[in-house]
Amino acid sequence: MLRLTWVQPEDLIGHELRQASQDGREPSRIAARWKAAGGLDAPERAGASPDRPSRYLRLLAEDLLDELADLPSKLADSEPTDLTRIKASCPSWPSQAPAGVPTQARLEAAWLGRAVGCLLGKPVEKLPLDAIRQLARSTGNWPPTTYFTAKGVPQDLLTTHPWNRRSARTSLAENIDGMPEDDDLNYPLLNLLLLQRHGRTFTTTDVARLWLEELPAGRTFTAERLAYRNLLTGLEPPRTASHRNPFREWIGALIRADVHGWTNPGNPAAAAEQAHRDATLTHTANGVYAAMFIAATIAQAAAGTHDIHTCLATGLRVIPPNSRLSRAVHHALRLARTHTDFDTVVDELHATHARTHHWVHAVPNTALIAAALTHADGDFTGSVSRAVSGGWDTDSNGATTGSIAGLLAGHPSVLPDHWTTPLKNRLSTSVGDFNGTGFDTLAHLTHREALRP
C-alpha cells in the first residue's frame, strides 16, 4: 500500500485545524465534525498515517479543508502576504541600495557552511530534544562540536532513539563521504538556476516552471509538495500556496532564501523582494516573512561589514512588526541575550512554541536560528552547534545558520577542517547537472550572478 507523505487529505486536515487556530480563524466547529466522523489528529512526526481511510472520510476531509480555507481570519490585516501591504506595514523598510559584490571566497564559505550545518543536523532530524541531548552526551559531544557518531552510543539508547533512518548511512561521522543530497542544498541550486535563466526580474511563475522542469516531485516535502501538486492540477500562483496547503507557514520558503541574499550583498530590500517572489509559490504570511527575514539578514552579512546583531536587526526590518514571526524572533533574541546557558534558551523556546507548533513550522525554527546566532555572537562552530542542539528541524536550521555564520567568517580557511574536510568538495543532488559539483565551483557560479546587473 502506497501512503504518499504530505498529501493525504485525511492527514492534512489535522494540520489545517492547527494552522487555522494559529492564524486567527475559529476552527472548533469543523474540528468537532471531523472528530465525530472518526477522523484522527495529524501524524505527529511522519508525513502520512499508516492506514488507508474509508472513502467517506477522505471526501469529508477534502470538503472540510475547503471550509476551513473560507473561514475569516482576525489576523488578516496585521499579517498580509501581498508585498505592497507588507512594505506599508514596515516603518523602517530598508532603502534600495546598489548591491555590492561579495568575494568568491566569502560565498564559498557560505556554501560550505550551509552544507556543514545541514550535515550535522541530518542524523537527528525528527528526534525529540531529549533524544538529541542523550545521544550527543553519550559520546561526549555535547554541545556538539563535531558530527554525530554511533560509535560509543549504548545500544539501548540507539534502540530507543534511532537515528533518522534516511540519513544515518550518509551523515554520521563514520559514514560521511562528500555532501549527500538534501532539500536544504537542492533549493539553493534551483535558485542558482533561476537566476541564470531569468535574472533578478524572475517571476513566481518562472519559479514554478523551473520546478516542473528540474525538480523531481519526490524531492519535495510539505508545502512544496502540495504546491507542486496544485501546479499539476492547473492552479497558478499564488493560489498554489493556499489551496489545501496547511504547511504554508512552515519552513520550506526559508530554506530557499540564501541565494537571494548571497547575490544582493548590502541590499537587503532587494533580497527580501526576491525572496517574496520565490516564497509566494508555496507559502503565505509568516512562511513568507521567514524567507524575507533570512534573505535580508544574509544580504547584510554578505556585505562583510556588519556583525551578526546588525544583520539580524536588518532582517527584522522587512517583516511586519506585529506578526507572530516578529514577536517570536524578538523573544528569542531577548532570551539569547539574557541567559549564558544556551540549553536554558532552548528550553524556554520549547516551552513557548512546542505545544502549539509543529516541529517544521517557520515561527519556532526561525526564532531558534536567531537565538543560536545571537548567543554564539556569529561564531561558526558555536552557531551551528546551537542551532542543531535546539531540536526541531535540525538539518534546515543548521544549514541556514551555517550559511550566515560562514558568510561572517569570510573565507573557507576560517572554517575548521574537521567540518569541511569530510565534504570532499563534492555535493550530491538530483537537480540539473550539479551532481558531484564542488563548493568552489558553486561559489564561482554564485559570484557570477552577484555581478550580473
Q: What is the mean pLDDT of residues 421-442?
A: 97
The Cα–Cα gap between 303 and 220 comes to: 32
Q: What is the mean pLDDT of residues 365-378?
A: 98
Cα separation values, 36 from 10, 13, 45, 182, Å: 14, 14, 24, 40
Is the confidence at residue 311, as pLDDT, over 90? yes
Size (the chain), residues: 453
Which band of pLDDT confidence, cut at 50, 70 and 90, is reported for residue 345?
Answer: very high
Residue 79 has a pLDDT of 98
Widest Cα–Cα separation across the chain: 60
Cα separation values, 306 from 296, 298, 310, 409, 430, Å: 13, 11, 6, 11, 35
Phi-psi region of 297 (alpha: psi -120 to 50; beta: other; left: phi over 0): alpha
Average pLDDT of the chain, as a whole number: 96
Which band of pLDDT confidence, cut at 50, 70 and 90, is reported for residue 111?
Answer: very high
Q: What is the mean pLDDT of residues 375-380?
A: 98
As a CATH number, domain 86-118+180-451 is: 1.10.4080.10
The Cα–Cα gap between 370 and 328 comes to: 10
Which band of pLDDT confidence, cut at 50, 70 and 90, is reported for residue 1?
Answer: low
Q: What is the mean pLDDT of residues 135-155?
A: 97
The more confident residue out of 44 and 28 is: 28
Q: What is the mean pLDDT of residues 132-150?
A: 98
Lowest mean pLDDT among 98-102, 177-181, 189-193: 98-102
3-class SS of residue 361: strand
Residue 49 has a pLDDT of 87
The Cα–Cα gap between 304 and 300 comes to: 8
Residue 39 buriedness (CB in 10 A; 0-12 / 13-18 / 19+): buried
- Phi and psi at 360, nearest 5°, equal -105, 5
The Cα–Cα gap between 332 and 175 comes to: 34
Q: Where in the chain is the domain with CATH 1.10.4080.10?
A: 86-118+180-451
DSSP 68-100: HHHS--TTTTTS--SHHHHHHH-TTPPPP----
Say if residue 393 carries a ligand binding annotation: yes
pLDDT digits (tens, 9 = 90+) for 75-110: 999 999 999 999 999 999 999 877 677 899 999 999
Hey, how many other C-beta atoms are within 10 angstroms of the C-beta on 123? 29
- Give percent of the chain above pLDDT 70: 99
Cα separation values, 10 from 38, 56, 246, 264, Å: 11, 10, 12, 42
The Cα–Cα gap between 325 and 394 comes to: 19
For residue 106, give the nearest of 272, 273, 265, 315 by alpha carbon.
Answer: 265
Say if residue 182 carries a ligand binding annotation: no
Hey, how many other C-beta atoms are within 10 angstroms of the C-beta on 208? 20
Residue 99 has a pLDDT of 66
For residue 366, give the nearest of 275, 427, 243, 281 by alpha carbon.
Answer: 275
Residue in the structure block whose three cell numbers are 472528530 = 35
The more confident residue out of 96 and 414 is: 414
Residue 255 has a pLDDT of 98
Show Cβ contacts of residue 106 under 8 Å, excluding neighbours closer than 6 positions: 302, 304, 407, 410, 411
For 28, what's the count of Cα atoms within 13 Å in the CB-facing half-sphere? Answer: 1
For residue 2, give the nearest of 43, 59, 48, 33 by alpha carbon.
Answer: 48
